[in-house]
Amino acid sequence: MGKFNGHFCPGLYLFCYGLYQTIVVSKAVIFNDSLLCPLRPPRNKERWATWRISYGGILKVVTGCILTAYVVICLDEGMVLMNKQVPPRFMYPKEWQHLTMFILLTLIGCVDIVSKNLLPQRSVVLELGVQMLAFHVLLLLLLSHSQNSAGVELQVHALLVLVVFLLVLVLTAELWAPDTVRLWLMETFLFLMMGSWLMQAGFILYKPVTGYPWQDDDTSDILFVTTFFCWHVMVNASCLLGIYGFSALWYHCRGPNLKRIGAREAPHHTSPPGAQYKLQQEVDPPQKDRQALLLKASSP
């Protein structure tokens, strides 16, 4: 699992998830909507409001299960914890770390589904708390994962640990301010960074574009790893701004049409002319009574 696919496949999932989050956050910013409690659907779609499928949670569960099965299948002897030697030694430490990461991803997806679909009321604190805890564990695993690395591999993993550390800080802050747009933007950007850099790490460590492996004793190779990371920062920031700009332009062009559709779907409460006539008749008698009283009072 610690080969090209072990870096590229999780990175591809995280990058796609970051793109999805970019679209969601852009829509919330443009419509001035809440990120946690979006606006209710129109009246003709209220029957779907009682059951909102957690597509993000399902995607996390499916991806986590596929990656977990891939880790187990890749080993010919299976996931053996210890060998039969005396004294026994632990087997496949990095594979067990990968397995723990993917189980955490599956756990996050299960919590999202339970919170959004099974509980009587959605528990945002539960979702954010489990996600924060999972990334704290991921940070610990990555720190120990790069202990035996050196040179280019150490630099690649150190930059990945930096991204995960910043993401942990953002997720921890979201636990106290869950509906803050700035934190969601930073989280989305860091997910894009984590995904794209994992894919890049697969190419740097296992499938170099030039066909020649990177040299650990070459200072230029180590320096260019950081340069590539900075390019990823600029590209992902441009991607984030581009999706937001396209979404804003689309809403600016389609906004009047959407408002007309919303006005057309809104219920109009009209009353027939007869109702107004009856209401006027109900109001007139008290006025006649007051006039009669005034006439009696003025008469000698």
Bridge partner list, 184: none
Q: How far apart are CA 82 and CA 66, in angstroms?
A: 24
Pair 143, 118: CB distance under 8 Å: no
Pair 106, 12: CB distance under 8 Å: no
- Burial-class residue 90 by CB neighbours within 10 Å (0-12, 13-18, 19+): exposed
Angle at which helices 152-174 and 124-145 cross, to 10°: 160
Distance between alpha carbon 257 and the CA centroid of its chain, in Å?
29
Which of 8, 13, 1 lies closest to 199 in space, CA to CA?
8
> What six digits make up the tokens of 113?
């589904």
- pLDDT tens-digit map of 268-287: 444 444 444 444 444 445 55
Bridge partner list, 110: none
Q: Is 122 helix (H, G, I), strand (E, B) or coil?
A: coil
Which of 206, 228, 200 lies closest to 2 in space, CA to CA?
206
In sequence order, what are the residues at sequence separation of 6 or more whose Cβ sits closer than 8 angstroms to the Cβ of residue 46? Answer: 40
CB count within 10 Å of CB 9 equals: 18
Q: Is 90 helix (H, G, I), strand (E, B) or coil?
A: strand
Query: Once rounded to an integer, what is the mean pLDDT over residues 1-21?
Result: 83
The pLDDT of residue 221: 84
Backbone phi and psi for residue 14, each to the nearest 5 degrees, phi listed first:
-65, -35
- pLDDT tens-digit map of 191-229: 999 999 999 988 988 888 888 788 878 888 888 899 999
In sequence order, what are the residues at sequence separation of 6 or more whose Cβ sits closer than 8 angstroms to the Cβ of residue 151? Answer: 214, 215, 216, 217, 221, 222
Which of 131, 67, 54, 62 lies closest to 100 in space, CA to CA?
67
Strand ranges inside the chain, DSSP E = none
- pLDDT tens-digit map of 146-181: 777 788 888 999 999 999 999 999 999 988 888 788
In eight-state DSSP terms, residue 114 is: I
Q: Is 52 helix (H, G, I), strand (E, B) or coil?
A: coil
Which of 134, 186, 158 lies closest to 21 in space, CA to CA?
186
Which of 228, 176, 177, 236 lies closest to 204 in space, CA to CA?
228
- pLDDT tens-digit map of 220-251: 888 889 999 999 999 999 999 999 888 888 87
- Burial-class residue 254 by CB neighbours within 10 Å (0-12, 13-18, 19+): exposed
Q: Is 82 helix (H, G, I), strand (E, B) or coil?
A: strand
- pLDDT tens-digit map of 40-74: 444 444 444 444 667 778 888 888 888 888 887 87
> What six digits make up the tokens of 89?
């030694």
